[in-house]
Chain A
Amino acid sequence: MATANKTPVLSVEHVTMRFGGLTAVSDLTFEAYPNEITALIGPNGAGKTTVFNCITGFYKPTEGKIALRHSDGKEFLLERMDDFRISQHARVARTFQNIRLFSGMTVLENLMVAQHNKLMLASGYTIAGILGSGHYRRAEKAAIDLCKSWLEKVRLIDRADDPAGDLPYGDQRRLEIARAMCTEPRLLCLDEPAAGLNPRESEELNKLLRAIRSENDVSILLIEHDMSVVMGISDHIVVLDYGQKISDGDPNHVKTDPAVIRAYLGVDEEEEEKDALAAKAVAEALGDKA
């Protein structure tokens, strides 16, 4: 792999997450590389969202280490940080499987909230802001400009003053990505960004994600079921099943990996010999979609 000699932006090492007696993720190790799109796939209940929640601090992993490195060499141990500090300092942003926008606030306000920490500092922790300091006003203007540029990228500039809850589903998905990007992250975690999108919208999402990756200093980690998205844009795919990694590599490697096919199609042990045939069929199917 061409990426093997690069320093990973995110390394998940031996992470285990147990909920009481249930082991949702067990001894998971994988890496994500700078400026790449890494996809985390697997059947339902494989533990993908749990991994996400561990990375973004919403869960504390029972065991293991999660390290994030910035391009300037700073390193953060995410399993020791609070969720909001992960976003604030380690610069990991995320979206949610079930969209979590501030539905009663306008599209623009949603993006302004995402720049909270920066603006808070500019407003002198509210004190200078309340006295109407020019410094804060300039910072706010800059923040609005950043919002505008993201709204243009996700084609929502015309709806900037509408409430976020009024947007159609596909627009809400894109707005959530824009909101995450307004925190200026180094790692963007997208939890099923294509869920509920039609093929045209999925295609658009692919373009958007590619643009985000090429224009910003950001790596993308995504969970996705839509294979046209996964195969179309991922540089690197990690496959999970029952909380364990069963395959790891570039799309072509994963597509033909018998373990992956077994996990997705549930082939019996006795029918191992038919695997090769099934693998071919799946490879064709996935290939078509891609």
Chain B
Amino acid sequence: MTAHDVAAPKTQGYDWTAIIKDLLGTALVSLLIMVPMVAYKSVITQYSLVLISRWFEVFVILGLILATRLAMHLFVWNRAPSPIHASAKPAGPAKATLADRIGPWVFPALVAFAVALPFIFHFERRPIDLGIYILTYVMLAWGLNIVVGLAGLLDLGYVAFYAVGAYAYALLSTVYFPYWFGDGIVPWAFYITLPIAGLLAACWGVILGFPVLRLRGDYLAIVTLAFGEIIRLVLINWFSFTNGPQGIEVPKATFFGLPFKAGPGGFADFFGIQHDRIYYYMFLYYVILMLALLTYFVTNRLRRLPIGRAWEALREDEIACRSLGINTTNTKLTAFAIGAMFGGFAGCFFATRQGFVSPESFVFIESAIILAIVVLGGLGSQIGIVFAAIAIMGSFEMFRELTVFQDYLPEGTDPVHFRMLAVGLAMVLMMRFRPRGFVTRRQPTVFLKERKAVSGDLVKEGHG
């Protein structure tokens, strides 16, 4: 009976008058757009301006549009409403068990893959570089996830903390440490500066936190955005301190005091192996992997502590938090500070990897990309963020390699120029089909009998 009901509308046949009317309308709109845009092209020759008509192209495009539209009419829009919409969603539990079964294995598998990556790719530089690049963004996104995903505070200036961490390392290792302790300290500078960079960034997090505590939503977003820009402008303009737009050359990290160089006293010499630059990249790769894992485990532990639950409660309902005696001011400040601290660590690492810092690396688009990773991954979900970082940063890199399309593109266009376009399109598609990101379910932090994931529909996004 139900099968018959579903099949019935399909056999009803097509309403041809309506379809033809629609196609004519489509053709009209398409021509209105294409005649001025496609039909004529002005070309400047050596002597004059020549108008070239391109009516053939216009009709090819029009044909494509109409064919697509017709196909949509015949195969897509004609379909009967799917029965899923009619009857709620009783298929929930079965799906949940599948996800639950795979869930616990995803993260260990990812870590195992990450640890083995240099070996899998036979110590090639390219995949290791890409790994460093993606892991840096994974770590940044995990840090921002504390602020945006857990505490529900929209921060558009996260890159400021990244900058604080990077400049902390650059200035301490090149200027202040040699001045205070002599040059002998420089090989160790990375290890000493790493915690300092985190602390400084956390301080900046608190400094940013204070004025914005009373703000919510759009206002909060704008002030954090402004804060990110202020830091960058200060870095550009405070020439005597930061060396302005010229940036600062920073020393490379060492393997606990052993520099990665050829000859005696170097890393290779100490271990009695052939010198190879790849060791340095592998070292950097494992350092960022450790830092990222630290971020992951600390955040995970914090979620299970009262402070983490307070963050999530704050995201759910601030007024209820206050009625339960939670000091929301302090709770927000700790979220800002701890999120910023991981940003500072990542910044310190970034400086040593680049070997050079300049304000150019800390533009707004970086904040936007990190936020995009958090949103795409699913607010609050750490595993989702890994996949989102791989998808976004991986696709950025992929566009660099897409020389295949070079032949089909107009003269002088580089596929790299399309990467933001593609990422934008991907975000639009995601918002259409998976508006809550890759991983929407929230894992509870404590349970009595069984850990049941909370559906994303119930979890709030916070007040901004």
Instruction: Report the Cα distance A250→B334, complex, angstroms.
Output: 48
Residue A172, interface by CB 8 Å: no
Q: Are B446 and A144 in contact, with the CB atoms below 8 A? A: yes
Among A102, A106, A119, A126, the most chain B Cβ lie within 10 Å of the Cβ of: A102
- Tell me which residues across on chain A come within 8 A of B323, comparing CB atoms: 56, 58, 83-84, 87, 93-94, 96, 100, 180
Q: Are B305 and A105 in contact, with the CB atoms below 8 A? A: no
10 pairs of residues in contact across A and B, judged by CB atoms under 8 Å: A83-B322, A94-B323, A101-B320, A104-B454, A104-B460, A105-B309, A160-B448, A161-B447, A161-B448, A161-B451
Residue A163, interface by CB 8 Å: yes
Nearest to A84 among chain B residues (CB) is B322
Nearest to A164 among chain B residues (CB) is B458
Residue A221, interface by CB 8 Å: no
* A138-185 at interface with B (beta carbon < 8 Å): 140, 144, 148, 157, 160-163, 165-166, 179-180, 183
CB of B359 to closest CB in A, whole Å = 34
Q: Are A103 and B316 in contact, with the CB atoms below 8 A? A: yes
* A82-114 at interface with B (beta carbon < 8 Å): 83-88, 93-94, 96, 100-106, 108-109, 112-114
Contact of A84 among B302, B307, B325 (CB under 8 A): B325
Q: Are A148 and B320 in contact, with the CB atoms below 8 A? A: no
Q: Are B321 and A113 in contact, with the CB atoms below 8 A? A: yes
Residue A123, interface by CB 8 Å: yes
Contact of B316 among A85, A105, A144, A157 (CB under 8 A): A105
Contact of B317 among A102, A115, A126 (CB under 8 A): A102
Residue A67, interface by CB 8 Å: no
Residue B424, interface by CB 8 Å: no
**A interface footprint on B425-453 (CB within 8 Å = 1, 0 otherwise):** 00000000000000000101111111110
Residue B306, interface by CB 8 Å: yes
Q: Are A120 and B324 in contact, with the CB atoms below 8 A? A: no
**Known A104-B458, A130-B302: A84·B326 in contact at CB below 8 Å:** yes
Residue B24, interface by CB 8 Å: no
Residue A116, interface by CB 8 Å: yes
- Tell me which residues across on chain A come within 8 A of B315, comparing CB atoms: 104
Is the interface on chain A under 10, 10 to 19, 20 to 34, or 35 or more residues?
35 or more
Contact of B444 among A85, A109, A115 (CB under 8 A): A109
Instruction: Report the Cα distance A148→B451, complex, angstroms.
Output: 16
Instruction: Report the Cα distance A229→B452, complex, angstroms.
Output: 36
- Tell me which residues across on chain B come within 8 A of A104, comparing CB atoms: 312, 315-316, 442, 454, 458-460
- Tell me which residues across on chain A come within 8 A of B312, comparing CB atoms: 102, 104-105, 109
* A109-136 at interface with B (beta carbon < 8 Å): 109, 112-117, 119-120, 123, 126, 129-130, 132, 136
Q: Are A129 and B306 in contact, with the CB atoms below 8 A? A: yes
- Tell me which residues across on chain A come within 8 A of B321, comparing CB atoms: 84, 113
Q: Is the interface of A mostly helix, strand, loop or mixed?
A: helix
* B306-358 at interface with A (beta carbon < 8 Å): 306-307, 309-310, 312-313, 315-317, 319-328, 334
Instruction: Report the Cα distance A88→B328, complex, angstroms.
Output: 12
Instruction: Report the Cα distance A224→B309, complex, angstroms.
Output: 32
Instruction: Report the Cα distance A109→B321, complex, angstroms.
Output: 13
A-B contact count (CB 8 A): 144
Instruction: Report the Cα distance A102→B309, complex, angstroms.
Output: 10
Residue B237, interface by CB 8 Å: no
- Tell me which residues across on chain B come within 8 A of A93, comparing CB atoms: 323-324
- Tell me which residues across on chain B come within 8 A of A163, comparing CB atoms: 452, 454-455, 458
* A42-98 at interface with B (beta carbon < 8 Å): 56, 58, 83-88, 93-94, 96
**Known A88-B325, A109-B444: A102·B305 in contact at CB below 8 Å:** no
Nearest to B297 among chain A residues (CB) is A130
Nearest to B451 among chain A residues (CB) is A161
Instruction: Report the Cα distance A282→B356, complex, angstroms.
Output: 83
- Tell me which residues across on chain A come within 8 A of B422, comparing CB atoms: none
Instruction: Report the Cα distance A140→B455, complex, angstroms.
Output: 25
Q: Are A161 and B301 in contact, with the CB atoms below 8 A? A: no
**Known A84-B328, A109-B444, A161-B448: A130·B309 in contact at CB below 8 Å:** no
CB of A115 to closest CB in B, whole Å = 8
CB of B442 to closest CB in A, whole Å = 6
Query: Other than the known A109-B312, A113-B313, what 11 A-B pairs have Cβ atoms closer than 8 Å?
Result: A88-B327, A102-B312, A103-B316, A108-B446, A113-B324, A115-B306, A116-B313, A116-B326, A120-B306, A161-B450, A163-B458
- Tell me which residues across on chain B come within 8 A of A160, comparing CB atoms: 447-449
Residue B298, interface by CB 8 Å: yes
**Known A83-B323, A120-B306: A148·B317 in contact at CB below 8 Å:** no
**A interface footprint on B7-24 (CB within 8 Å = 1, 0 otherwise):** 000000000000000000
Q: Are A102 and B327 in contact, with the CB atoms below 8 A? A: no
Among B316, B327, B328, the most chain A Cβ lie within 10 Å of the Cβ of: B316
Nearest to A162 among chain B residues (CB) is B452
Nearest to B319 among chain A residues (CB) is A100
Instruction: Report the Cα distance A117→B312, complex, angstroms.
Output: 15
Nearest to A128 among chain B residues (CB) is B305
- Tell me which residues across on chain B come within 8 A of A162, comparing CB atoms: 452
Nearest to A122 among chain B residues (CB) is B306
**B interface footprint on A176-205 (CB within 8 Å = 1, 0 otherwise):** 000110010000000000000000000000
- Tell me which residues across on chain A come within 8 A of B324, comparing CB atoms: 84, 87, 93, 113-114, 116, 179-180, 183
Instruction: Report the Cα distance A86→B326, complex, angstroms.
Output: 10
Q: Are B320 and A103 in contact, with the CB atoms below 8 A? A: no
Instruction: Report the Cα distance A108→B317, complex, angstroms.
Output: 16
Instruction: Report the Cα distance A61→B325, complex, angstroms.
Output: 20
Nearest to A118 among chain B residues (CB) is B306
CB of B437 to closest CB in A, whole Å = 14
Instruction: Report the Cα distance A56→B324, complex, angstroms.
Output: 10
Q: Are B447 and A108 in contact, with the CB atoms below 8 A? A: yes
Instruction: Report the Cα distance A116→B310, complex, angstroms.
Output: 7
CB of B324 to closest CB in A, whole Å = 5
Q: Are A148 and B448 in contact, with the CB atoms below 8 A? A: yes
Q: Are B458 and A103 in contact, with the CB atoms below 8 A? A: yes
- Tell me which residues across on chain B come within 8 A of A140, comparing CB atoms: 446
Among B324, B327, B444, B460, the most chain A Cβ lie within 10 Å of the Cβ of: B324
**Known A104-B442, A105-B316: A130·B310 in contact at CB below 8 Å:** no
Instruction: Report the Cα distance A108→B325, complex, angstroms.
Output: 18
- Tell me which residues across on chain B come within 8 A of A88, comparing CB atoms: 325, 327
Instruction: Report the Cα distance A28→B118, complex, angstroms.
Output: 74
- Tell me which residues across on chain B come within 8 A of A116, comparing CB atoms: 306, 309-310, 313, 324-326
Q: Are B460 and A113 in contact, with the CB atoms below 8 A? A: no
Instruction: Report the Cα distance A109→B460, complex, angstroms.
Output: 15
